[in-house]
Amino acid sequence: MNALIDGPDGHPRCRWCATAPEFLAYHDTEWGFPVKDDHRLFEKICLEGFQSGLSWRTILAKRENFRAAFHGFDFDQIARFTARDVERLLQDPGIVRHRGKIEAVIHNAARAQELVALHGSLASFFWSHEPEAEQLATPQTASTSEASIALSKALKKLGWKFVGPTTVYAFMQAMGLINDHATGCVVRAKAAHARSRFKSPAR
C-alpha cells in the first residue's frame, strides 16, 4: 500500500495523518521531531501506555485533559500521588479511566525519579538508545525494532510498567529517536533537519 497521501496543500504526507482531522497538525509539527524535555518524554511514554488497546485518536483528543489530571506529567508531583488520587482520576471523564494504567503512571513516576538519579535526566537515558541509521527499517514498515526491544527490556529491568516493545517503538517514532516519516513525505525532510540540529543529551 502507498504510504503517502496528498495533504490539503497538495504536498504528500504519511497516509495515517489523513485518517482524522486532528492528526494533520500533530503529524506536521510534533511527530518525529526530536524531544529532550523530560516532562514531554514522560508524558508520551505514559500516553502510549494509555493507548494500549485503543486508538491514538482517542488519546490525542483527551491529551489536554490528561495533562491537567497529571499536573503536566511532572513526575516529581505524580510520584507523590496516593490511593485517593487514583480514585479521583477514576472519576475523571476527561481521561481513560483504567485503574491499571493510572496506577502504572504513578508507579512509573517513581521509577523516572530513580532513572534521573542514575542518568541525570530521562532524555540522556532514552537518547542513549537511539538506533544507528543502518539498524532502521524502511519507514512505516515496522512496529518494533532491535532498539525498541532493547529499550523496553532496559525499562522493565528498572521496574517500569506498560513499556512493551511496540509501545516503546511508537514512543521512539513520536519523540524523534527515529525519523519514520514515509519516504516522500513533505515533513520527512523537516524532521531530518531538526534531528541534524539536535544535540543529543546522551553524547
Q: Report, as residue numbers or ranges, the catalytic residues.
A: 26, 48, 56
Q: What is the DSSP letter of 73?
A: G
Q: What is the DSSP letter of 136?
A: P
Identify whether the C-beta of residue 188 lies closer than 8 Å to the C-beta of residue 182. Answer: yes
**Amino acid letter, 54:** L
**Which is nearest to 145 in space by CA: 122, 161, 129?**
129
Alpha carbon distance 60, 26 (integer Å): 9
Residue indicated by cell numbers 532502521: 136
Residue indicated by cell numbers 525519579: 113
Identify whether the C-beta of residue 171 lies closer than 8 Å to the C-beta of residue 48. Answer: yes
